[in-house]
Each structure stands twice: as structure tokens, then as C-alpha cells.
Amino acid sequence: MAPAWPELIGGRRIERTAATEVNATLVALAASAIEVFGGQQRDQVRACGRWPLCVLFFVKNHPRRDYCSPACANRARAMRHHDRHQADS
Ligand SMILES: [Zn+2]
């Protein structure tokens, strides 16, 4: 569906494809997913701790990391703070 080949242009490797833009994007997404879920770090891949509010995955490269990004960690912290203060009133 997406034949691709490398070309050497000006000493740089350029990836070319005959696929439509949509198919090339789908192929890139599939290749990335295979790399993440089938690669050497597959055992460290986790769903974000804010699931189902966040549907992203991350590589758990630190024992205390539970979120896909610092932004998600901050949102989770804010929600816990909000929940604690809701329970007080
Ligand atoms: Zn997240």
C-alpha cells in the first residue's frame, strides 16, 4: 500500500514514497506502534496514569514515573488536590 525507498541527495538520506499522504501517514503510525510495542523497551511501555482521561502511552524509564508527561502529572496532582478539598467541605 505504501512502497517506499531511500534516496541519497546531497549526501543525505531522504525517504521517498509513492503512497498517498494518508497512506504514508498510516504506515508511519503503524511502524511507530510496532517499534514501541515490539521493540526492546516493550516491557516498560505503560498507559498514562490518567487513563481514561489521557490515552497516551509512555516508556517507564524511572520507577516513580506514572504519567505520559509532566503536564499529565500536574493535572493529576491538581485533581487530587481538588478532590481532597471537595471532601473537606
Ligand atoms: Zn497522559
Asked whether 19 and 4 are in contact (CB, 8 A), the reply is yes
Q: pLDDT of 12-69, one tens digit each?
A: 999 899 999 999 899 989 999 999 899 999 999 999 999 999 999 999 999 999 999 9
CA–CA separation, 14 and 73 (whole Å) = 37
Residues 30-43: tens digit of each pLDDT? 999 999 899 999 99
72 pLDDT more than 80: yes
What is the pTM for the complete model shown? 0.65
- If you measure from the C-alpha of residue 64 to the centroid of ligand 1, how many angstroms do you get, rounded to a whole number? 15
The 10 Å CB-count burial string (b at 16+, else e) for 39-52 is eeeeeeeeebebee
User: How far away, in angstroms, is 88 Cα from ligand 1 center?
Assistant: 27
Which uninterrupted H or E stretch holds 12?
Answer: strand 12-17
Sketch the domain layout of the chain as residue ranges. 1-39, 43-89
| Residues lying with their CB under 5 A of ligand 1, a single-atom ion | 48, 50, 54, 56, 68, 72
At which residue does the C-alpha cell 493535572 appear? 75
* CB distance 13 to 2 below 8 Å: no
The per-residue pLDDT for 13 is: 95
> Does residue 1 carry a pLDDT above 80?
no
